[in-house]
Structure 1
């Protein structure tokens, strides 16, 4: 019985950090816009191109998730400090991975994604060429 209680206590202790994010109050700029309309417009343009990691591919500008609010706060704070939007995007990509950005970056690892359709088209053309050749030889002899 003691082992079961100890196991239950351990599971509850591990589950607490997972819910801690939702219990904190929102960051100051999560729902409050910047006072300068030009800076807010710049922040909005950037936030529309960043993906909420908790939602189903929703932009952080539209998401009500606490994590999206924290990301909006970071974007607005950094824009207000004069940081370049692309530098902010790079920081978020470094922190959360490529998935956070709707604008994928060209990296050498991605070349197979662009080469694969060309290789498939080339193979299809070669197969069709061979099939038409064989059909042409059969057609000439009859």
Structure 2
């Protein structure tokens, strides 16, 4: 019985085209890997792409990632820059669409403020604790 199930599974997987199992196997967007003709627009697009995190890779910017999702995001950034949108508006649009996490530079409000203030608060706490330790020893 197990052999029959195993054989049926293997035959079923063999019948499914491998392209349909690949993640992001759709066509690559036109502007994903093609630079804009205007150098100033391409520079602005590149700056935005380096400030946005790939939601598929999670550790790379969309400018550095080879993931299909990053290609889609790069094409969207370039298209919006070519349409005349400002970099800040594009960044905000991406944050609204994918969440605050997509930005490598969190806003200085709400939870973003805590991220900016945490290193300073931890440093102050460490200095306060070190001061207490040195006072007791002397």
Task: Tell me the equivalent position of 2:109.
Answer: 107
After superposition, the CA RMSD in angstroms is 2.6
Structure having the larger proportion of residues in helix: 1
Name the CA distance, whole Å, in 1 between partners of 2:48 and 2:31: 15
TM-score, normalized by length of structure 1?
Answer: 0.70
Name the CA distance, whole Å, in 2 between partners of 1:72 and 1:56: 15
Deviation of the 1:28 alpha carbon: 1.8
Stretches of structure 2 lacking an aligned partner (at least 5 in a row)? 10-19
Name the CA distance, whole Å, in 2 between partners of 1:72 and 1:21: 17
Larger-gyration structure (1/2): 1
**Equivalent residue runs for 1:12-51 within 5 Å:** 22-51=24-53
Name the CA distance, whole Å, in 1 between partners of 2:95 and 2:60: 16
Instruction: Pick one of 62, 79, 82 that aligns with 1:80.
Output: 82
TM-score, normalized by length of structure 2?
Answer: 0.71
Deviation of the 1:105 alpha carbon: 2.2
Instruction: Pick one of 92, 95, 117 that aligns with 2:94.
Output: 92
Task: Tell me the equivalent position of 1:60.
Answer: 62
Stretches of structure 1 lacking an aligned partner (at least 5 in a row)? 9-17, 133-142
